[in-house]
């Protein structure tokens, strides 16, 4: 049996993805290169076909190569604290992906094309510059979507049609009470809806139609995990 390798090279002085790793493509499962100064990933990243977890938090990445879509076994992709502005369409090919974390980047538009990620549990886009949650959000299979600390002022009612969505975080954005789709309360499966720090008092949420329905889901979930 080929041994599984875990490579942790965080908080070092890497300015580029280590070329030496090419010798380990056959059995490398986990790579963590957080806290370096890496500005780009090589196209050869697509050779790590057995990689399950790739973490590059707090680097200087501006973009991702299209070849990242070849990592069919990747379950966790964490790229927090970089300078990424948009995602390649090939990211939608990561069919095994469960966690996609892009907090603290420079993304200004909600990424499209992620609806094909059928296993996705968590999508973290907090601390970016997103202004609108578009209708295409309904395609997402995520259980939790974190959009805290963006610049969001518009949320499409289609978010209520996300089939698996249980947790929706929209704290510290630019939302008015009138911008909250009531269908999130009345029609969705969301049992934790977090909107503190917007342009209205949270207690005003109680006045919206469907709030009682939402609280039933919230309470049931709370009891389940008590």
Q: What is residue 2's predicted lDDT score, i.e. its pLDDT?
A: 41
The ranges assigned to domains in the chain are 5-224
Give the span between the Cα atoms of 32 and 23, in whole angstroms.
17
Is 83's pLDDT higher than 80? Answer: yes
Q: What is residue 12's predicted lDDT score, i.e. its pLDDT?
A: 57
Is 78's pLDDT higher than 50? Answer: yes
Is 218's pLDDT higher than 90? Answer: yes
Q: What is residue 3's predicted lDDT score, i.e. its pLDDT?
A: 46
Q: What is residue 183's predicted lDDT score, i.e. its pLDDT?
A: 97
Q: Contact at 8 Å (CB) between 76 and 51?
A: no
Looking at residue 23, the DSSP 8-state letter turns out to be G
Give the model confidence (pLDDT) of 144-179 as tens digits: 999 999 999 999 999 999 999 999 999 999 999 999
Three-class DSSP labels, 194-207: ECCCCCCCHHHHHH
Q: What is the mean pLDDT of the chain?
A: 93
Q: Contact at 8 Å (CB) between 38 and 14?
A: yes
Q: What is residue 143's predicted lDDT score, i.e. its pLDDT?
A: 98
The hierarchical CATH code for the domain 5-224 is 3.80.10.10
Q: What is residue 15's predicted lDDT score, i.e. its pLDDT?
A: 85
Phi, psi of 73 (to 5 degrees): -100, 0
Q: What is residue 41's predicted lDDT score, i.e. its pLDDT?
A: 96
pLDDT bracket for residue 134 (50, 70, 90)? very high
Q: What is residue 8's predicted lDDT score, i.e. its pLDDT?
A: 54
């Amino acid at each position: 049996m080929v041994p599984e390798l875990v490579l942790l090279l965080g908080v070092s002085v890497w300015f580029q993805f280590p070329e030496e790793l090419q010798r380990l493509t056959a059995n490398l499962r986990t790579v963590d290169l957080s806290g370096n100064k890496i500005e780009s990933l090589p196209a050869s990243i697509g050779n790590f076909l057995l990689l399950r977890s790739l973490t590059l938090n707090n680097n200087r990445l501006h973009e991702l190569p299209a070849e990242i879509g070849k990592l069919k076994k990747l379950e966790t992709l964490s790229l927090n604290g970089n300078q990424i502005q948009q995602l390649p369409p090939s990211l939608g090919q990561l069919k095994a992906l469960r966690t996609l974390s892009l907090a603290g980047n420079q993304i200004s538009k909600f990424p499209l094309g992620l609806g094909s990620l059928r296993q996705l549990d968590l999508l973290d886009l907090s601390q970016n510059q997103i202004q609108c949650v578009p209708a295409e959000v309904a395609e997402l299979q995520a259980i939790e979507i974190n959009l805290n600390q963006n610049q969001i002022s518009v949320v499409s009612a289609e978010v209520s049609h996300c089939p698996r969505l249980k947790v929706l975080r929209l704290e510290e954005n630019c939302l008015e009470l009138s911008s909250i789709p009531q269908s999130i309360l009345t029609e969705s499966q969301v049992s934790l809806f977090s909107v503190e720090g917007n342009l209205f008092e949270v207690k005003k949420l109680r006045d919206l139609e469907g709030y009682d329905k939402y609280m039933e889901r919230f309470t049931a979930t709370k009891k389940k995990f008590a």
